[in-house]
Amino acid sequence: MRSEAPTIQDVARVAGVSTATVSRALTSPGRVSERTRDLVLEAVETTGYVANEMARNLRRQRANSICVIAPELSNPFFSNIISGIEQICKPQGYGVFVTESSSTDEEKAGLINMMASARVDGFIVLDGNLDHSMLKTRGPSGRPVPIVSACEWRNGSLAPSVTVDNVGGAMQAVKHLAALGHTKIGHISGPEENVLTAARMQGYKKGLDSSGLAYREDYVLRGEFSLESGQRAAEHWLKMPDRPTAIFCASDREAFGFISQVSKNGVQVPRDVSVIGFDNIEVSGFFVPALTTVSQPRVEIGRVAAKMLFDLIQENEHHTMENPQLDVSLVIRESTAPPAKQA
């Protein structure tokens, strides 16, 4: 057991060949004779050699890793996407860095630095609000470092994106409520500046419209996707003189917050108010009541995004696939029901 890790030099010495031959035997086995290959492989075995990635990457001018930028790592919604990304990257030998999007300028500089410093070959951005000024930054090759957006996207950005049919999903949700007989359908929105907020709001309006219902400004409660914001919206709802009998929430977590809070005030779901979410996070099927929601293929989103990024990295920006939009599906469970008969 030597104290230094074996290098390609050691393998070459043991095998009695040059380092070039060792490198070839390992990375393009077809280019050496069978005898030599065996010799090298045996030497690798006896020395316990593993190629040093830093040296390889320096020479090859790539990092063999990508970076995922999420608004908040702790949100389970994003972890599923990251899981999908990792599923694609691992078999390719790519490492996956994760980082939270940065609010301060200093941190943002850190990101740009990461980009320019040859540490990663590409980015997957899950935060639609991230300033894409870094798009202009170039990697060591002089080319811009490829970026793909997933879930959220940025209007006017050059980066390709993989998204889901937010408008269609929201529309389906509203139509479901209308079909149950609801005429007073409210909406808890997402945070103001978010692209998903806008898309789901649009779907909400379209759903209302296609069901022959009028849009009422006062039926839209502002949320932030979070549990707490759903709770706050519930407080507001409880005080409304003419309450909606059904609520389409822009996220499952808002729905949980809402249900939790109204339950504490003796309101029962779905008897007194129907609630529908968006996302279908894992716990949704186990909530009490089980949540009717619009299901997003989160893992698949990650997988598709990773594949797109690899296309960009490898195929060098031709093969520009269309921005894929994945389907969502309405999962009907127990938080929606026909409205109670009016007294």
Min dist CB 58 to a second copy, Å, is 4
Nearer to DNA, 18 or 314 (CB): 18
63 binds a second copy (CB under 8 A): yes
Tell me whether strands 329-331 and 292-295 are parallel, antiparallel or unpaired. Answer: antiparallel
- Minimum CB distance to DNA smaller for 33 or for 268: 33
Q: Which does 256 bind (CB under 5 to 8 A by kind): a second copy, DNA, none?
A: a second copy
Of 256, 298, 305, whose CA–CA distance to 276 is shortest?
Answer: 256
Contacted by 205, from DNA, a second copy, none: CB < 5 to 8 Å by type: none
Of 237, 247, 242, 225, which Cα lies nearest the Cα of 176?
A: 247
| The pairing of beta strand 161-164 with beta strand 185-188 | unpaired
Interface with DNA by CB under 7 A: which range of 33-41, 156-164, 238-246, 313-321? 33-41
Under the binding rule (CB under 8 A), the answer on residue 313 touching a second copy is: no
Determine if 317 is a binding residue for a second copy (CB under 8 A): no
> Choosing among a second copy, DNA, none, which partner's interface includes residue 23 (Cβ < 5 to 8 Å by kind)?
DNA
Taking the C-alpha atoms of residue 152 and residue 173, their distance in angstroms, rounded to an integer, is 20
Region from 31-39, 103-111, 280-288, 290-298 binding DNA, contact rule CB under 7 A:
31-39
Q: Residue 182, interface with a second copy (CB under 8 A)?
A: no
Please pick, from the candidates 13, 26, 191, 263, the single residue that binds DNA as defined by CB under 7 A.
Answer: 26
Interface of this chain with a second copy, residues 214 to 233, rule: CB under 8 A: 227, 230-231
Residue 83 interface partner, choices DNA, a second copy, none, CB cut-off 5-8 Å depending on type: a second copy
The pattern of x and - marking residues 99 through 128 that bind a second copy according to CB under 8 A reads xx------x--x--xx-xxxx---------
Told to check if 46 binds DNA by CB under 7 A, we report no
Shortest Å distance, C-beta 41 to a second copy: 15
**Binding flag, residue 9, DNA (CB under 7 A):** yes
- Kindly state whether residue 137 participates in binding DNA, applying the rule CB under 7 A: no
Smallest gap, in angstroms, from Cβ of residue 16 to DNA?
Answer: 7
- What minimum distance in Å lies between the beta carbon of 179 and a second copy? 24
**Integer CA distances (angstroms), 270 to 95, 176, 182, in order:** 45, 14, 12
**Does the footprint of a second copy cover residue 299 (CB under 8 A)?**
yes
Residues lying near a second copy in the complex (CB under 8 A) are found at 2-5, 50-55, 57-58, 63-65, 67, 72-76, 78-80, 82-83, 86, 90, 93, 95-100, 107, 110, 113-114, 116-119, 138-142, 227, 230-231, 253, 256-257, 259-260, 263, 282-283, 285-288, 290, 299
